Amino acid sequence: MQILQLCKKFPYPLKDGESIAVTYMAKALHQLGHQVTLLAMNTTKHPVAVNRIRAKLPHYKSVHYTKLDNEVKPLHAFLNLFSSDSYNISRFDNEGFRKKLTSILKKNHFDIVQLESLYLAPYIDIIRGNTDAKIVLRAHNVEHEIWERMSANEPVALRRWYFDYSARKLRKYEIEQLGRVDQLLPISDLDKRKFKKLGYRGSSLAVPIGLDLDAVPFQSVKSNSPLSVSFIGSLDWMPNVEGLNWFLDQVWPHLNVIFPKLKLHIAGRNCPDWLMQLELKNVVVEGEVEDSRKFLNYHA
């Protein structure tokens, strides 16, 4: 089959869960004999020198991208309060991407167009208007849930209200888009059940993140090796930071008592200053690492 994979950020290097999920899905499809074309947004938040890494993407038949300024802009976020549209979604609705997508669809035949997350849903109309390909939504999260959790855990009243307002608009949009795709690929069975509760009645299959185990060298652990655990994830993404804060506040103090020699290693791109300056016993903040697999192999 001919498959067009659409991504809201360039899925390389493999330094976060989304990039890993997108890349290994594409590799698996390629290994099964399918031809995969990539169209991705090269964002200001996660810029990539695409021409330098094309050789690392042999699983793609061809690679295309457009540039996108997806930085959060306070004025735009404020004005969006008076709109029924979700600001989270509108940040990825881009005219340059529309034109590139239209051009690719007109010049090629595809059996499947795969949307890597809800944030590609603004392009469904263009896809329907230019191809008979089936539209598959690869749902990396139940997106509105993330904002509901942030609202529930936010101590500042104004921010709590804003997160809740954003969650409600995103929930409405997410439910609407479920009825517009031909197939749903959630990341877990739990998410699959949640989407069904939200009203999804179409074909669905839970497809967890795949890993190339051959690319992760086995390392035996000696009984006298120091104990360690690790966290890796983008540290400019609020849900990651929120989860890490919860672990440091609610879990780590107890682990320290039970395992006084245990070390926690924290890695991720765009590490905030407050985290780099964190002084907690046996907590090592490494910031951005070159190789996530090597990091996890040593510290997981």
pLDDT (tens digit, 9 = 90+) per residue, 133-167? Answer: 999 999 999 999 999 998 998 889 999 999 999 99
pLDDT (tens digit, 9 = 90+) per residue, 196-239? Answer: 999 999 999 999 988 777 766 666 665 566 788 999 888 888 88
Tokens linked to 257: 């008592």
Q: Which fold has domain 2-204?
A: Rossmann fold (3.40.50)
pLDDT value of residue 195: 98
pLDDT value of residue 113: 99
CA distances from 61 to 29, 98, 269 (A): 11, 21, 29
CA distances from 11 to 27, 191, 266 (A): 12, 22, 22
Domain boundaries, the chain: 2-204, 216-299
Q: HSE of 161 in the Cβ direction (CA atoms, 13 Å)?
A: 3
What gap in Å lies between CA 235 and CA 16, rounded to an integer? Answer: 10
Q: Which residues of the chain have pLDDT under 50?
A: none
